[in-house]
Each structure stands twice: as structure tokens, then as C-alpha cells.
Structure 1
Amino acid sequence: MQILTLGEKIRKLRKEKNMSLRELGGDYVSKAQLSYIENGKASPSIELLKYLAQRLDVDLEYLLATEKDQVKRYCRLWLEEMKVHVNLNNISDAEKMYKKIDKYAQKYDLTEILAENNLLMAKAYINVKLYDDALSNIQKSFYYYSKISNIEKVIEAIIKEGNIYTLKGLYEIALNKYRQAYTFYSQLPIKNLELESNILYNISTCYHILKDKKNAKKYAEEVLRIDNQLKDAKRYAQSLLKYASTLILNEEYAKAEEVLKKANKLLKKQEDKKTKAFIENNFGCIYLESGEYEKAYKHLMEAKQIKEEMNLDELPTTLFELYKYYLKIGEEEKALKQLESAIEFSIERKLKDYIVKGLDYYIEYLVNKKSYEKAIVKIKEQISILEKMEM
């Protein structure tokens, strides 16, 4: 990692361009003044910085970036690299990256980086079932997100903590965590119905396991009410199934049958060509992972064709798999074409999750190629797009 002062940046750029101090300054600034700036004995005005950025053909932002800004950028890149290790379950590599990020983030007081680093490390430990280690990282993440008042991320950390206790079979502790998450949810200035539904779904599940019939049904009804507002047929069908299970627990069999019929009717509407597209996509994923690339390609192209014909929002999921396919067979240009198509499609339709996923793949690709500057550009692009969408 190379952290440069303003003077060092100017000197480095000047030498790269084989430019003397006199050539850099021109008629605008003297050689002596530039020498003072390069040696850290003088600070330029913003106007002078703009001039130097133009002369050196570099973004003004690069010259303005403080030492802390530079470290933050490196940490962001390392987080992207760490995500790859987490997804591949390379726990030792993930731990090395975690320690590296933690060291610099602690030194420069990068609270948000510390929070993300711990949440990501928790995910890594969950993947390999090291639940106690994961809990330690989640609690640190909770502390850091609380410190910067990022309530949605605080809620995410608490839900993950609840999920771990559920996996450990400690349902009463898990229930307390989900209820704590719901308390924090009430503090959000703008409500996120999907998040609220997820919390209540988990609460209902815990009550169900604990045989609390009344509360299991009560919270399942709340989930049903919210999911009906979300206008997502598949999600609503799933919440109907959850509600039906609580009705069975309460021995309300006739009503449960009625709800199940409604759920079944909704699920049937999702079948036919759309269901076939999802099935073809899943076959493609399976064959891709097992190394049967010809079969994978055949199924993925079938899924792509159906999704394009039906104009489905889920098209990017298949394009992402085709991106992976082309990478595996060594055709990087075609791979990037699929990835760019997925991102473009997602931006056009304002599909936040797919935008983030697509740009994450792109950043991962660039990091693996050691194209760190390009990766930074992509990260900025991701932030800019999401900010414009007001998400």
C-alpha cells in the first residue's frame, strides 16, 4: 500500500510525464513555489490545485485525497477481495484480509470500514459453522454501526445474531434478538416493509418452534398483511404457507386448508414458461459448478431466451451465470459483455440488488486482475448510481 502526501503525488505524476517544475508551472506559478509544495513547505490554494490537476491530467479529487481517504480506498478494495475469499469459504485467507483491514481501519478511525469488516468476517464464520467466532464479530459490527447511527445495518447485525442462535438451537435467545431488531426498526425514519416482514417472519418462526400458538399465528398474520402490500405474488404465497402452518398448529384445519388453496392458486400462476425459465437457470448453475460446460450453456441460453421473451426482471440472474460460464472457458471478452448487459438492464429497471451484485462481480474481476484504479472507478460508479436512485 502506497500512501502519498500531496507533494509526493505531484512529484510522482510530474516524473511520470517527464515534466520539469518550470514546465508544470508555466506562466501561472513559479518554480520555487512548486518546489515548496512538493517538499511539503507550502499548501496550494484550491485554484492552484485545479490548475495543477489540469496540467498533470489527473482528477482534482486525487490531489485532494487525504491520507485517510487513501487508506479508506485501499480498505474498500481489500473488502472486495475478502468477499471473494468468503464466498469461496477460504477462511484462512478471509482472516488474513480481516486482520489487514482491521489494522488500518483502527489506525485511521474508519468506523464504517470496521463495521463492514466484522460483518463480513461473521458471514465467513457462519459459512463454515464457526458460530461463536461469528457472534464475536457480529457484536463488534453492531458496536461500530451503532457508533455511526446506521440503524438499518444495526438491524442487519442483530438479525444475523438471531439467525446464529437459531442455528445453534437457542430459540428463546434468537427470539429476543429478533424482537430487539424490531425495536430498532421502529426508529427508522423511512420504513422498509420487506425488512419488517423478514423480522416478523423470524419472530413467528421462533414462536412456532417454541409452541407458542397464539403469538406464532399473530406474527404470521402481520407478515401476511405486509407481504400483501408488497405486491410480490411469490413472497405472498410463501407468507400464506407460513400462516397456514400456524393455523395447523392452532388446529384450525378448515381455515388452514382455505389458505393453502389460495397459496396453491398463486403458485400455479407463477408456473408455465416463467417456472421453466427458473428451472433451466438452476440446471445451468448445477452443470456449471460440476464442470459440464456444454450442458450448462444449453440450459442457460434456454433460460435467457424465455426471460427475454417474457421481459422478466429476473433476466440478470441468468446473465450473471453466463458471465461465470464464459470466464470458466477463458472467453473474458464475452464474459464481460454478459456482465455489462446485466448491469445495464438492472440500471434501466432500477433493480438495486442486481445492480449491486453486477458491479460487485465487476469489481471482483478487476481486483483479481490487479486493476485497482479501475476497480475504484467501478465502486464510485456503484455509489453514484445508487445515490441517484435515492436508495
Structure 2
Amino acid sequence: MSIKEDIGLRIRTEREKKGMSREVLCLDGDELTVRQLLRIENGESLPSLEKLEYIAQRLETSLSNLLAEDNIDIPDEYYELKNRLIKFPTYGDEKRIEQKLQMIEDIYDRYFPILPEEELLTLDIIENIMNFAKHEKGPKIEEIFEDVFDQAQKRKILV
């Protein structure tokens, strides 16, 4: 079982043990939407530390209980690859765009199961920009940002 699935299962189990629906846990959706919680519980998304703290608070449990023994450290190699990806210029050159898309694919292959939602969003945005540059077809912004835009508007401090 992946880290995402394990943490999602713990959250769902704890929520159900408390007899709490997803809607009740999420309240008004300012901190966490029902859709985000569903993706987390299904093991599709790794919650950020901020969201995990919110979930733990709402479930009246500790972070360590939700995380158990799992170590969700993201390796330094990931950040090195991400840094290279972001700083790699394409100059509109199709070969360089393809290289950048391959870098994204490599990151997904190596780190997808352990990356939190925010990191996956960043990669998704970069990938869509590169595909736009390559194919001159616009990405569906609504699909990329889904709940993220609403969450960003409601945050007191943007990260």
C-alpha cells in the first residue's frame, strides 16, 4: 500500500469511527473541500501538512495518529530535479520543450506516490504550459485549478 493510500485509509477510518460525514469534517470548505477529502481518502492525493493538521484538528486526533510510522519526507533529489526543470529554458525550441516534458515524466515516474497536492499541481501546470507551447492548444485551466483557486482565495497567507 502506498503512503497516499495508507494515510487516506487512516483518515477515512478515523472519520467513520467518529461517525462524521465528509461534509461535516470539511465544514464550509474554506480549509478543505469534500472533493479534496475524497481524493485524499481514496489515496489519490497526499494532503499538504496544512490540510493534514486541519483534518487532525477536526477529527480531534494527533498528526502522528494519522501518519503512524510513515515517513513522508520528499527526497532532496526531487527538489534538485524540480529546480532543474523550472530553470531549464526552452526558447520555444520543440526539442527543448520535449526534453522538459520528459523531465516531468521522469519526476512523475519516480516521485508521484509521495508528492503532496501542491507539488503535483505545479508539475501539472508546467506540463500544460509545455504542451501549449508544443501544440499551440490551450490547456483547460478549469481542470488544472479545480478546487485550488477557491482554496488560494480563502487563504490568509499565500504560500
Greater length-normalized contact order (CA 8 Å, ≥ 6 residues apart):
2
The higher radius of gyration belongs to 1
- Give the helix-richer structure, 1 or 2: 1
TM-score normalized by structure 2?
0.39
TM-score normalized by structure 1?
0.18
